[in-house]
Amino acid sequence: MTVFGFHASHEQIHPAKLLEAVIHAERAGFDAAMSSDHFSPWSARQGQSGFAWSWLGAALQATNLPFGVVNAPGQRYHPAIIAQAIGTLGAMYPGRFWAALGTGEASNEHITGDTWPRKDVRTARLRECVDVIRALLAGEEVSHDGLVTVDRARLWTRPEQPPALIGAAVSVATARWCAEWADGLITVNAPTDHLRQMIDAYRDAGGRGPLHLQVHVSWAPDQAEAEALAYDQWRSNVFAPPVCWDLDTAEHFDVASADVPMAKVSSAVNVSADLGRHVGWLQEYVELGFDQIALHHVGQEQRAFIDTFGAEVLPKLRAA
């Protein structure tokens, strides 16, 4: 049966309120949770950027939910530090934590002052980071000289079972590449045909493990309100790669998105006041074979969404 989770958006919500929201989501019937890991929001209107790793410790302690996080090792984070973070949470909360690894975005990574590499270099760097992280979680002492440098690193605190390392992808080519190393695949909502192609590419290349999907949702009792929420909070997030990878700051995203039409937002967010439409959209993702679907309500107030989807949407999906 598909697991339905709550996506905790650090770019939009103060971490204290986000902790309240995820506790409430568990009580309302959500099965799991996942977290974004950003240094910067996508828009000044979103206005937050809590540190995901410290928040995850609090959230895992405050709930019984399994959690995941999407992370980009290699520039802002040294892979040995990410291995230590993964290992500590895995040791403290066995079987409840996974990490998805991707190549990142300039809006988060430029803060180091290092050059933002080409996509092919970022991909090669991520592959090195994956190997470093896996070796450290396996108990090896690691030294490595390449796009990242590691000198005699060893994790002294490790879980008995290393947490899953999930591949983050938005393209068919990247999904196929993730099959080389990942314990599962995660992507975001997109047209059904594209998602099917990604799944097929991953599986046909030998990809194993669960399929995760993050779904952007905007719901309110009134259609105009649902559209206004999505437009205010998520119109900066509608740009395809490489634009979304390469813009540096929230201010850049705000300028670029100043004249985005609502139709473009609706192509990236499932926007509707009709709960039946949301059930239908989510059922399509279930039928594609996704094992875990994390719902991200793009509004900054979460309680009404959590209560309504917990009572009216999730039961229908589970009964289908």
Point out which residues pair with 4 in neighbouring strands: 293
Catalytic-residue membership of 38 = yes
66 residue type, one letter:
P
Catalytic-residue membership of 14 = no
Exactly one of 11, 26, 105, 227 is catalytic; which is it?
Answer: 105
For residue 174, give both structure tokens. 């990247």
Exactly one of 38, 110, 278, 296 is catalytic; which is it?
Answer: 38
Q: Which of 313, 292, 316, 304 is nearest to 31 (CA)?
A: 292
- The catalytic residue positions are 38, 105
